Chain A
Amino acid sequence: MQKRIVLDLDLCCGCRSCEAACKAEFKGESRIRHGDIAGVAYLPLACKHCKQPLCLASCPVEAITRDDNTGLVIRSAMVCIGCKSCAFACPFGVIDAPLVRHISQKCSLCADRKEGPRCVSACSSGALQWLSDEEIEQHEIGMRMVSKDLFFRRKP
């Protein structure tokens, strides 16, 4: 069953617990980032593990592969040459251009951890959730992905 990280916009309080969890695990380099949405909100941005990933298409050495069973788009540290093609190709800007140990940094959805990504476990407000497509349809979060109350947050 394919699962993905879903963000409940109404609950995210911008505390960056997710980023801290990722940073603590990956030796100071976070693979989940935060975007300042027009000064209204500060929301986490993680790799979407696209069905047709542009990062994969752009990689000159085929370091990025997609597992059709799990939906995971993974970068191989052994093959990556640090050319940054993936960072420039990503339409969401979630692969950061600066290299760490000469390779690009990309979210692997904590494939080593059976409970799912660490950012989801750590999320202090429960805004990040680890759900399958079926769960998303059943869950209220399906409706809240675009925020239930559009004017919930005030502009500074």
Chain B
Amino acid sequence: MKKIDPKTISIKRAVCPFCSFGCEFGVVFNDFGVCGVEYIKDGSSNGRLCPRGSAAGMYLDHPRRLAVPMRNGRPAVWSKMSKDLIKVVGSPKSVAVTFDRNVTPEEYAAIVGFCDSVGIQYTASTYFEPEHNLRPFLDKPFAPANLEEANIVLVLGDIFNQAPMSSRAIIEWKMKDKKNELIVIDSLNTHTAGFATRFLKVNVGTEPLLLLGLAQENSGNLDISKATGVDGATVNQISTMIKGNGKGLIFASLSFGHTYDPALCAESLYRLHKFSGMKVVPFVEFPGYNGNQGFSDIIDMVKKKKVKNLINFGELFPFYYPQLVDKLKGANIYATSTLKHSGYTMLPVPLGLEKEGTLVTTFGKKKLPGGIEPPSGAKSIEALLSMLSSGHGKGKTPQPAGRKLDINARAQRVAQLTETKKKSYKLVGEKVAYNFLGFLEGEALKINPLDAAELGIGAHDVASITSKQGSTDLPVKITEDVGQGVVAVAAETPSVRGLFEFTIDNELSAINFIPTEVKICRKE
């Protein structure tokens, strides 16, 4: 029998899969299992890690880690689960296959191949994080030399909190030359905005309109200054400054529930890129993939009872989008997951850290080394697919049709959405690395001091937040970072995400989570 020695440690090298930076670090093991992470100086990030990387060790053996299949909150056995799934796949016309994050390009290819081989016609993306709209910009990887040449950097969103590993290079670039302009666009006063030469504070959710204004694209004759709250002279001045500037950079992130139209935001960024020649560097946590359908098509097919079973590969859906579950009531949902959630049929899969394959990063493709063992009950997606595909016929997955956006109509719609009703607040989402899955810190509601005083809410109080989608209670953080009439929350946990309204984007058949009207009161 092996003697257990807690002092014996081994370090396995890993690539952090939790954002698009692909930092390297070591996972430290002793005889009892994972005991933390180690910072590797010769790694791509020089040993530095953001809070997500530091929490990676906690994730691997978290008490909520899903290690066995579960059905409605109860453990199940793989043999029975596989029988059920084979039976489901046996009627491929009533099955839709979807995918969100934690799926490598190799796994995506295997899923599409599986759908082709068994004749599943409907595939769609369930990666509803707004940043997925920025995926096309990942095609041209970013090199640090691009920043050295730049004299203007335009930042969309709070990238220092969302992707802290970006901060060092940008701050040093700004300090190197006082003429270097760091322009930040956001609706909240963030840490990133704190470092800006110019901070363009826009009205909640109207970032795409300002981007269109900067790109001098306003064929709909919209009053951009009124809609965004940024004065016209500033917009014109910056627009003139960036026009034809081929060396500038645009760092872009899109947080959950932060912007009214993320697809328009991506399109506006593309137009600004064409106008200015500035390269767009996207912060996309997971590239995600398209299917041959938009997700709203899948909802329609569930409604029409064409789709009776939905199999999701990834780790977010349906747990992180509870407001969609009502829309899918007619379907049985089978979802792969890495964490335990209540309800649903859950199939344990390895975490990104435990996989071999490719990671698409801001700097290009990176190899995931694997080598860390997943829980014994977890099945890799390839193993799951080979278990399901035995003994079925062949079909063909149709290709998605090309789509074009009507930007004028979309811009008008965003401008209309900026009005806030009396006695209600706009809830916006933030993506803060420190709130990673709620492992390090729970959510808190940021509220302006004047609003807090009006509502009788004090610093250590708990507030009750109610939207049309539901309600939840959160501790309050009183701060001037949010303006009056706005409340913000780091949307990392399902209960908070469940508050956000979604719109169905008819042009793209996609789902958008948008800033939401909420009512706030002090919880007694």
A residues sitting closer than 8 Å to B (CB atoms) are: 10-11, 13-17, 19-21, 23-25, 39-42, 115, 118, 121-126, 148-149, 152-154, 156
Contacts and interface: CB of A to CB of B under 8 A. Distances in A.
What is the interface of chain B mostly: helix, strand, loop, or mixed? helix
Interface in B347-375: none
Contacts of A125: 48, 160, 164, 167-168, 171
B433 interface: yes
Interface string B165-177: 1011001100100
A124 B167 contact: yes
A125 B53 CA distance: 14
B251 to A, nearest CB: 13
Interface string B25-64: 0000000000011010000000111110111011000000
22 contacts: A11-B168, A11-B171, A11-B172, A13-B161, A13-B192, A14-B194, A16-B51, A17-B51, A17-B53, A19-B440, A21-B39, A24-B36, A24-B54, A39-B480, A40-B194, A118-B39, A124-B168, A148-B175, A149-B175, A154-B193, A154-B199, A156-B480
- Contact-residue size bin, chain B (C-beta under 8 Å from the other chain): 35 or more
A122 B171 contact: no
Contacts of B389: none
A4 to B, nearest CB: 19
Nearest to A40: B194
Nearest to A152: B195
Contacts of B55: 20, 24
Contacts of A121: 39, 47-49
B481 interface: yes
A16 B168 contact: no
Contacts of B193: 154
B117 interface: no
A70 B198 CA distance: 45
Contacts of A23: 54, 440
A14 B54 contact: no
A15 B199 contact: no
Contacts of B58: 24
Task: Name the residue among B47, B436, B480 with the largest chain A CB count within 10 angstroms.
Answer: B47
Task: Name the residue among B36, B51, B53 with the largest chain A CB count within 10 angstroms.
Answer: B51
Given A15-B434, A17-B49, A20-B51, 7 more contacts: A15-B51, A20-B436, A20-B440, A121-B48, A122-B48, A124-B50, A125-B167
Nearest to A149: B175
A20 B53 CA distance: 9
Interface string B321-362: 000000000000000000000000000000000000000000
